[in-house]
């Protein structure tokens, strides 16, 4: 699991891990997943940007450089405000090879990329209980610490890139995610070692929607409040005010930046498209072809 430790949002373009006993390298591209999964399901409000980071990939035995997109994550500030919707994400790295061998197959049906939290899952408050998990407190809050960092996993190790559906199960006890039959194996409402607010937070953490119906009788319901009171992507967008980026990269598109509801970044001009995106207004402009042309972008 990768999490943001502060309210200073960070945009992550790649995670690479080399296998300790072989030459295999796993490479995960959060920004590319953010775009693909956001297009697959608009409710996946992953904030992303074009990136200048250069990543090497292997294709047909040759190495090539690419600039993958990046995905934004952050933690809520003291007032519970966050710039993005997500504090962190988890990924099943064995599905993501450096040679990108499964990407085209998954692009044909993004369900196999985006339809499983065991393969790729995002979390709104993965750092909720970090202060409780310090050594001096751990004996008192062992259950809460365990629950706050346990995404679902595949029941048995699948082959790399194996197509969904695959059997998944929760690693948490009491379970706040359902099993393969959609059944909650444990009733977290009956758990006496954590209070009502913690129960609500844990259910939010693992995506359970009917939280109040699940635990209708709380000792102090008024204490329960959202861990993230909302996201404000304008806070990140304001960093790029007045900045213009001109790109020759064939993998970066001004049209894509402008038409995506979840993109963030500077004003963007694509040389190969001949298009300019004004990120403040989300308006697209063609390149000016003559000196007397108006309503266009003068390069």
Q: Which residue has the higher pLDDT, 190 or 83?
A: 83
Q: How sure is the predictor about 79, in pLDDT bands with cuts at 50, 70 and 90?
A: confident
Q: State the number of CA atoms in the 13 A half-sphere of 80 facing the CB.
A: 8
For tokens 């990046």, name the residue.
70
Q: Residue 183: is its pLDDT beyond 60? A: no
Let me know if 130 is exposed, middle or buried by CB neighbors in 10 A (0-12, 13-18, 19+): middle
59: DSSP letter: E
Residue of 113 and 257 predicted with greater confidence: 257
What H or E segment, with its residue span, contains residue 269?
strand 267-270
Site of tokens 């490479």: 27
What distance in Å separates the CA atoms of residue 78 and residue 99, rounded to the nearest whole number?
42
Domain segments of the chain: what residues?
2-223, 241-286
DSSP string, 85-138: S-SEEEE-GGG-BTT-TTHHHHHHSTHHHHS-TTTEEEES-TTTTGGGGSHHHH
- pLDDT band at residue 13, thresholds of 50, 70 and 90? very high
Measured CA to CA in angstroms, residue 137 lies from 21, 134, 143, 147, 270 at distances of 37, 6, 11, 15, 53
pTM comes to 0.74
Whether 112 and 163 have beta carbons less than 8 Å apart is answered as yes
pLDDT over 50 at 137, yes or no: no
Q: How far apart are CA 55 and CA 95, in angstroms?
A: 18
More confident residue, 93 or 127: 93
Read off the DSSP letter of residue 30.
H
Query: Which tokens go with 185?
Result: 């194996």
Residue 295 CB coordination number (10 Å): 8
CA dist 41 and 7 (Å) reads 26
- Say yes or no to pLDDT of 244 above 60: yes
Express each pLDDT in 263-285 by its tens digit: 999 999 999 999 999 999 999 99
pLDDT of residue 10: 94
Strand partners, 276: 269, 285
Higher pLDDT, 148 or 61: 61
User: How much is the pLDDT for 180?
Assistant: 54
């Amino acid at each position: 699991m990768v999490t943001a430790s502060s309210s200073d949002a960070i945009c992550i373009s790649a995670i690479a891990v080399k296998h300790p006993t072989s030459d295999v390298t796993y490479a995960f591209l959060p920004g590319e997943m953010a775009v693909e999964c956001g297009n697959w399901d608009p409710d996946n409000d992953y904030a992303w940007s074009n990136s200048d980071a250069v990543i090497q990939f292997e294709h047909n035995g040759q190495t090539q450089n690419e600039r993958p997109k990046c995905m934004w994550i952050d933690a809520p500030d003291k007032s519970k405000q966050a710039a993005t919707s997500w504090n962190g994400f988890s990924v099943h790295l064995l599905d993501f090879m450096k040679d990108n061998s499964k990407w085209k197959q998954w692009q044909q049906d993004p369900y196999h990329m985006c339809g499983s939290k065991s393969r790729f899952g995002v979390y709104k408050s993965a750092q909720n209980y970090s202060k409780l998990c310090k050594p001096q407190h751990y004996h008192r809050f062992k259950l809460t610490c365990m629950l706050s960092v346990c995404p679902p996993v595949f029941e048995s190790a699948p082959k790399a890139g194996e197509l969904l559906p695959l059997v998944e199960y929760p690693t948490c006890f009491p379970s706040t995610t359902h099993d393969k039959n959609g059944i909650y194996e444990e009733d977290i409402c009956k758990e006496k070692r954590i209070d009502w607010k913690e129960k609500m937070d844990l259910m939010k953490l693992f995506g359970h929607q009917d939280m109040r119906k699940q635990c209708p009788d709380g000792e102090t319901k008024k204490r329960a409040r959202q861990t993230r009171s909302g996201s404000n992507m304008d806070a990140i967008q304001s960093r790029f005010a007045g900045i213009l980026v001109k790109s020759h990269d064939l993998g970066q598109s001004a049209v894509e930046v402008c038409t995506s509801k979840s993109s963030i970044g500077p004003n963007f001009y694509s040389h190969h498209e001949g298009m300019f995106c004004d990120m403040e207004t989300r308006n697209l402009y063609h390149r000016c072809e003559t000196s007397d042309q108006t309503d266009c972008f003068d390069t």
